[in-house]
């Protein structure tokens, strides 16, 4: 990883409510953070906008403003919970590292790539859900998209599988 001017590095870690995200953050803190650098860790969370069905393509429905407000409130609660958990992990594993949190609404692929560019990040660290070919084809892969489009090196951390009991 290239060193930024003055030994300062901007490390972006994409965080969500998954175990894979938590593992990637933990991996980053134990393997990338160094006392030789003035690291700033940016925790980035993409809050998905609620899906709205307009009925323009056939039968559908519009969500009431109360329903949309409830969904937005829930999204904010999830984002706050994700960030509190991630900040606690940072305090527990890295102590005095500078941590900045960013929550943006939108598709995770776009939010993460835009944030990397806006922050002029030195590296992006993210977890991988380890979907197979079929699931990736239908659901898309955020990590794959970011690896192809982010304007910095991307470290995709895969959580090891637990041994069968």
pLDDT of residue 130: 67
pLDDT at 161: 79
Q: How far is CA 157 from the centre of its chain?
A: 12
Round to whole Å and give the CA distance between 16 and 111.
13
This model's pTM is above 0.85 = no
pLDDT at residue 4 tops 50: no
Q: Answer yes or no: is pLDDT of 24 > 50.
A: yes
Residue 95 per-residue DSSP state: S
From CA 69, how far away is CA 3, in angstroms rounded? 44
What is the rounded average pLDDT for all residues in the chain? 82
Alpha-carbon Rg for the chain, nearest whole angstrom, is 18
pLDDT at 63 over 80: no
- Sorted by where each begins, the domain ranges of the chain are 5-50+63-158
CATH number for the segment(s) 5-50+63-158: 3.40.50.620
């Amino acid at each position: 990883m290239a060193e930024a001017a003055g030994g300062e590095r901007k490390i972006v870690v994409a965080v969500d409510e998954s175990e894979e995200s938590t593992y990637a953050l933990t991996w980053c803190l134990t393997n990338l953070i160094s006392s030789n650098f003035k690291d700033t860790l940016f925790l980035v969370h993409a809050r998905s906008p609620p899906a709205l069905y307009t009925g323009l393509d056939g039968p559908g429905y519009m969500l009431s403003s109360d329903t949309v407000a409830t969904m937005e409130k829930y999204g904010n609660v999830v984002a706050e919970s994700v960030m509190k958990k991630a900040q606690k992990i940072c305090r527990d594993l890295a102590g005095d590292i500078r941590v900045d949190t960013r929550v943006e609404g939108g598709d995770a692929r776009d939010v993460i790539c835009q944030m990397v560019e806006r922050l002029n990040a030195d590296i992006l660290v993210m977890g991988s859900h380890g979907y197979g070919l079929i699931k990736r084809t239908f659901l898309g892969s955020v990590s794959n998209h970011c690896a192809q489009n982010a304007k910095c090196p991307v470290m995709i951390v895969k959580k090891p599988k637990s041994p069968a009991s």
